[in-house]
Structure 1
Amino acid sequence: MVSTAESFLIGGAAACTAVTVSNPFEVAKVRLQLQGELAKGGGEKIYKNVGDVLVKTWRYEGVSGIQRGLVPAYVYQILLNGSRLGFYEPLRRTINRAFGFTPGEQVAATSIAAGASSGVVGAMAGNPFFLIKARMQAYNPVLPVGTQHNYKHSWDALRSVWKAERWRGLIRGMDAAIIRTAMGSSVQLPSYNWTKRTIVENGWGKTDSTWTFLASSAVSGACVCMVMQPADTALTRMYNQPTRRLPNGKMVGVLYSNPIDCLWKTLKTEGPLGWYKGTTAHFLRIAPHTIVTLTANDLYLGWYRMASRTADGGITAGA
């Protein structure tokens, strides 16, 4: 049995592998979500679609633009997916036992609860890094969209936020992050496990086949994208909005007071499609990201177990 700490590390390694592939689409998603923010009818379009974002970003900013925010993305993914993948199974087994099920039994309600809970833990831990990642990815010196935050690097971003707002700045948008992550986490692993089990039980693929990994991950990614897109748009906008200082010294957002306020104002000015800006980029990010994360997690877990058995066998033989 792999320990919680080992699951956390394996999950974090899998997530970092995935984010290297998916980060360019995250940059595109952020910029599309901020384009025409609170402008009637969606406002002027600097970018036509996800492909246009990637082409223009590459043309004017090069590889540093395409991979903008990669370092905080790594840290965030270690904390989020390490928690999501590392704590999911222990939480699911604990919840199962609490409600009278056997620990290994797959129950939809307890699986969703475990997924949401593990995701919330990761979102809270990783919030400062998601915040600076979003701000760094939104920054474009040539074709700016939304509020622009010009940070030299990740440490400069954290230091600037801390200097201006202290802890309140680092936890800004955490309510939106918790909602977004809970929604995504509640369906990611349950849909992955359900799809994988369905494929195996119907004889469409073997448990350890690449086809089974890819198909299960693709379905899981689509489910996550559909469920959390509006919350994701709200999160990006809350992270990136300008702030002002009240007479009592408290720093508050200029545009939105909370995620619900953000969604409502977006709906009023941009219509329901405003919630779904960047959906294509989101899916193009989340599909390969989910596929690589979950596939790598299964592979790394298998390799770790194999290495552990080999090491144990060697120790036993030597004894």
Structure 2
Amino acid sequence: MNAKNVAIPVHSSTSSPVAKPAKPSLEQRLKGFALGALAACAAVTFTNPFEVIKTRLQLQGELESLALREKTTTADILHQQRVYRGPISALFLIGRQEGLKGLQKGLIPAYGYQVMMNGTRLGLYEPLRDTLQSGWDYMTSRESGLPPLVPIMVLSGAMSGFAGAFLGSPLFLIKTRMQSYSPAMPSVGQQHAYASQGMVKGLTAVYRAEGLRGLWRGSGMAMMRTGAGSSVQLSSYDLNKQFLLSTGYFTEGPRLGLSASLLTSLAVVFVMNPFDVASTRMYNQKANAEGQFMYKSGVDCLVKTVKGEGLFSLYKGASAHYLRIGPHTILTLTLFDVLKRFFM
């Protein structure tokens, strides 16, 4: 055959029209929301005890050294003995003093929060990622079908996390106050008596005392917390799956999801814990007799925490955080993958 007569295909941005980005259907969005919520609720049933422990460790010794140095009346409120020596100590102490019920405090609002936050976060992540990526491919004539770009995955994770955290903020607030409340033993942090009366009465009490704004107090830091965690968790989970598949030792299935989740958890805790400490303290604070709050904003909380307790205080409860988020990440993302294969 004459080489001159062989037609050589030429790929150029003008040789063929680029397909317009396909938008996910309403049915896909609703299925993603429902399956994300179901996976997260199943996971939180097993991981909630470590959320209780994490909350109390993060509140322990709150601004104590700062209050003592400045000799304010805050010292009288916050001066407390060291109740918990670590997550294992807290597990046994809470279990002995308050029983299984104490270790599962805040479980009902935790379910509601998972539906609102994780359902939104997981349900929106893939549609957002695919829509943003297809839009980018359309504008740049990038070849379709390639793996999503890392910045697209990070942005999609952050955006879905912001939305979920804002919607679920009142439930996280009451969950935090229920989990920190401990009448049976020396307490940590500020205590809210209505927290023992259940989720609905607790939310009603907050609304009556602080108004609608009070229900979303601390939501800004919670959005930063969840946005940071989501951008790392969801994007690195995708990257870890791609990496593990590239080794040739893994195929699509639960084992791949489990291994990718294990690799993801450490990065999530490192990035998320400082925001988590500030978020917990913002949610748990209450006004003094003059109607003033301890923290004016999330940034003020971070500054006061570092000033009063040192830089490493931002990683209070990190071990309990990992013990919670490791299994929670594994269970949530693995179950979500399994559910998607069956129902989507």
Please, what TM-score do these two structures have when normalized by structure 2?
Answer: 0.84
* Equivalent residue letter for 1:298: D
Are the aligned partners of 1:92 and 1:103 in contact in 2 as well (CA < 8 Å)? no
Q: For 1:230 and 1:120, how far apart are their aligned partners in 2? A: 17
Q: Which moved more, 1:168-177 or 1:96-105?
A: 96-105
Q: How does 1:161-240 map to 2 (within 5 A)?
A: 161-208=206-253, 210-240=254-284
Are the aligned partners of 2:80 and 2:188 in contact in 1 as well (CA < 8 Å)? no
Q: Where does the alignment leave 5 or more consecutive residues of structure 2 unmatched?
A: 1-23, 67-78
Q: For 1:206 and 1:215, how far apart are their aligned partners in 2? A: 11
2:321 aligned with 1:282: yes
What is the CA deviation profile of residues 104-125 of structure 1, one whole-angstrom value per residue up to 9, with x for unaligned ones? Answer: 6310001100000001110010
Q: For 2:161 and 2:315, how far apart are their aligned partners in 1? A: 22
User: Could you say which residue in structure 2 is the equivalent of 1:312?
Assistant: none
Q: How does 1:43-54 map to 2 (within 5 A)?
A: 44-54=81-91
* Equivalent residue letter for 1:235: S
* Equivalent residue letter for 2:36: G
Are the aligned partners of 2:282 and 2:301 in contact in 1 as well (CA < 8 Å)? yes
User: Could you say which residue in structure 2 is the equivalent of 1:55?
Assistant: 92
Sequence identity percentage: 43
User: Could you say which residue in structure 2 is the equivalent of 1:17?
Assistant: 42
User: Could you say which residue in structure 2 is the equivalent of 1:257?
Assistant: 296
User: Could you say which residue in structure 2 is the equivalent of 1:78?
Assistant: 115
Are the aligned partners of 1:57 and 1:66 in contact in 2 as well (CA < 8 Å)? yes
Q: Where does the alignment leave 5 or more consecutive residues of structure 1 unmatched?
A: 306-319
* Equivalent residue letter for 2:57: L
* Equivalent residue letter for 1:69: G
* Equivalent residue letter for 1:234: A
CA shift at 1:202, angstroms?
Answer: 1.2
Q: For 1:43 and 1:269, how far apart are their aligned partners in 2? A: 15
* Equivalent residue letter for 1:25: F
Equivalent position to 2:189, from 138, 143, 146 = 146
Q: Which moved more, 1:10-19 or 1:137-146?
A: 137-146
Please, what TM-score do these two structures have when normalized by structure 1?
Answer: 0.90
Are the aligned partners of 1:188 and 1:220 in contact in 2 as well (CA < 8 Å)? yes
Residue correspondences, number: 299
Equivalent position to 1:3, from 22, 28, 34 = 28
What is the CA deviation profile of residues 84-114 of structure 1, one whole-angstrom value per residue up to 9, with x for unaligned ones? Answer: 1100111112211332354763100011000
CA shift at 1:211, angstroms?
Answer: 2.4
* SS at structure 1 position matched to 2:31: helix
Q: 1:14 to 1:104 in 2, by over 3 A?
A: farther
* SS at structure 1 position matched to 2:85: coil
CA shift at 1:81, angstroms?
Answer: 0.9
Q: Which moved more, 1:20-29 or 1:193-202?
A: 193-202
CA shift at 1:242, angstroms?
Answer: 1.7
CA shift at 1:213, angstroms?
Answer: 1.4
CA shift at 1:143, angstroms?
Answer: 2.3
What is the CA deviation profile of residues 209-259 of structure 1, one whole-angstrom value per residue up to 9, with x for unaligned ones? Answer: x3211110111222111111000000000111121476xxxx652x11111
Root mean square deviation, CA, Å: 1.7
* 4+ aligned runs moved over 4 Å, structure 1: none
Q: For 1:88 and 1:38, how far apart are their aligned partners in 2? A: 37
Q: For 1:56 and 1:103, how far apart are their aligned partners in 2? A: 53
* Equivalent residue letter for 2:133: N
Q: For 1:14 and 1:245, how far apart are their aligned partners in 2? A: 43
* SS at structure 2 position matched to 1:106: coil
Q: For 1:244 and 1:108, how far apart are their aligned partners in 2? A: 46
Q: Which moved more, 1:5-14 or 1:216-225?
A: 216-225
Equivalent position to 1:270, from 309, 313, 317 = 309
What is the CA deviation profile of residues 120-149 of structure 1, one whole-angstrom value per residue up to 9, with x for unaligned ones? Answer: 110010000000000000001112101011
* Equivalent residue letter for 2:39: A
Q: For 1:228 and 1:205, how far apart are their aligned partners in 2? A: 29
